[in-house]
Each structure stands twice: as structure tokens, then as C-alpha cells.
Structure 1
């Protein structure tokens, strides 16, 4: 389930990181998602910890190869997302913007209401998960999870 929910975003994180690293090596500063990795004001241990993003997509692919892909994982992931995001919205501090649920405040140029932003977020994430599902279902090995009933 983690693979179908995170593979695309993790892969994009890696692409962004390596382009930012390349730019950094040439003395160019980019405003990017991974620019924090090159921010000397942040502790080295924290930036090093974030390097797990580099290995995780490959680890997820290896897990799918070894264990197989359950054909309903994408549905479970979407339902999980649709449960977690509203909970995050109602119980967290907006200034922390956990899971990006308050990003509409950051992107003021979008000029949209919170409800509309969340609806777009739900739809976009569902599409990304569906695309991941189309990719992972090409793996032929069936899921070997004895706790999931196979049809």
C-alpha cells in the first residue's frame, strides 16, 4: 500500500533533489522542494535523515518484486488518504501545515477557498494513486499475504 501511495511523489522528490544538487554544485541556488537539504541553518543530522527519500522508491520496487502487488492496494490507499486528511485538518495546528492540508494559505495566488483546495487535493491524489496502480499491476507475482483473501 505504501508503494502505490508514495512511489510517484518519492520519485519526483528524487528528481528534484538531484537537479538541486547539480545546481548547487555549480553555484546556482534553486527554490525547490528539496532546497532545505542544502540549507546550512538546518542541522546536518536532520538533512542526513531526510536522505531516506533517495532509497525508498527503490526499496518499494524491490518489495513489490519480492512480495507482489495486491490489486486492491490502490483502493485502500485512497480510502486511507481520505480518512487521514480530514482528521489532520480538524486536529492539527494550521501553522504546522501537516500533510499540506493548509497549503491554500501558502499559495495565496491560487485565491481559492479551503474546501475547494481540499477537493482538488483529494482528486489529484486519487489520480496519482490510480496511475501508480496501473504501473504496479504490471508486476505479475501475486500477493503472498495470507491475511488477504484472494479471489
Structure 2
């Protein structure tokens, strides 16, 4: 983190830290440091399914050398981005597994998806307010980093917010089921 944060800030700018994956990376570090099941659960809900998609896309792109079937990791093969910066992006590979381990260790907070809904929608609204075609963070202007033109931008934002809410709810249900009643910890008031 001592290397990644300043390098990302210099190369991509601070706005880049509003990507949910970067939020989860920083939030996961905070959750581990504070041993906070709520923060760990929120970060898991936020990104684990999407990060597993990143891992799958990256591994498949390695098999076919550069073509990303899901279109998520195409930037990893962009020679205009310095190799060192692209190598730092490999944090996506362990991130979902670290978050799963962290939640397994600390317990799953069943309220996490509600908190993530508030935080996530706030991040989406902020990125929408600050986004431009070159900085389409969290794809609030269109899919795949491209600006969409087939519907009103606010309608598109509503779609993104609804899809994110559905993914977070699905993740919440999945991990509630996988961990079972013993794995779901009832968080005390506060953290």
C-alpha cells in the first residue's frame, strides 16, 4: 500500500480511488487493522463477485494472450500504461480471496449489505458528479468505460445503482448461506 497509493495517485489521479475495487482494497486494509467484521463484510459485499470476474477475465486473457473475453482487464495489456503500474494492479488477483478469508475469520455482519448500499450509492453519485469521458469510474457514464448514448445519463446511473444493489444483495445472500448461522456474527454496537 505504501507503494501502490502514491503511484496510483501520480499516474491515475486521486479520482481513481473511487473505483469500488480500490475502495475495497483500502477498506480491507482498514478492516484487518481494526479487526472490524462490519467493514470486512461491507468490502466483501461490495466487490467479491466482481473481483472474481476480474480474476477470471485476467486468467482467460493470459490463455489467449491479451484478449479479455469479459472486457474488464483490457487495460492490463495497454502499453501506454507503465508496466510497473500494471503489475501493481495484480492486487485484484488475491483481493477477493483475502476478503473471503477476512470475513471467515472475523464473521459476517448481516447488516453489511445495507451499509454497503448507502456507501456504494454515495460513491456512485459522487463519481457520476465528477466523471468525464476519460474518467468513467465505476462505469457511471456507460459500460466498459465508454460513454453510453442510448438513454439519458441519469437513467443509466439508475441502472448502474440497481445492478450494484442486486449484486450486493446476491453476495449478501450467498455468504449468509455459505457461512450459515455459526458464521454470521452478530456485531456489537459500534464496529
Q: TM-score, normalised by structure 2?
A: 0.68
Aligned twin of 1:10: 51
Larger of the two Rg values belongs to structure: 1
Which runs of 5 or more structure 1 residues have no equivalent in the other structure?
Answer: none
* Higher helix residue share: 2
Aligned residues: 144
Could you say what the CA RMSD is over the residues aligned between the two structures, in angstroms? 2.2
| 1:94 equivalenced with 2:135 (yes/no) | no
1:83-130 Cα distance to aligned partner (Å, 9 max, x none): 22212222x14131223222279254x611111101111111111000
Q: Answer 1 or 2: higher relative contact order, Cα 8 Å, separation at least 6.
A: 1
Looking at structure 2, the residues matched to 14 and 120 of structure 1 have their Cα atoms a distance apart, in angstroms, of 24
Counterparts in 2 of 1:83 and 1:76: CA distance versus 1, 3 Å? same
Equivalent residue runs for 1:1-150 within 5 Å: 1-24=42-65, 29-30=67-68, 32-90=71-129, 92-95=130-133, 96-103=135-142, 106-108=146-148, 111-138=150-177, 139=179, 140-143=182-185, 145-148=187-190
Residues 1:93 and 1:125: Cα distance change in structure 2 (over 3 Å): closer
Q: CA separation of 1:68/1:40 partners in 2, compared to 1, >3 Å: closer, same or farther? A: same
Q: TM (normalized to structure 1)?
A: 0.84
Which segments of 5 or more consecutive residues in structure 2 lack a partner in the other structure? 1-41
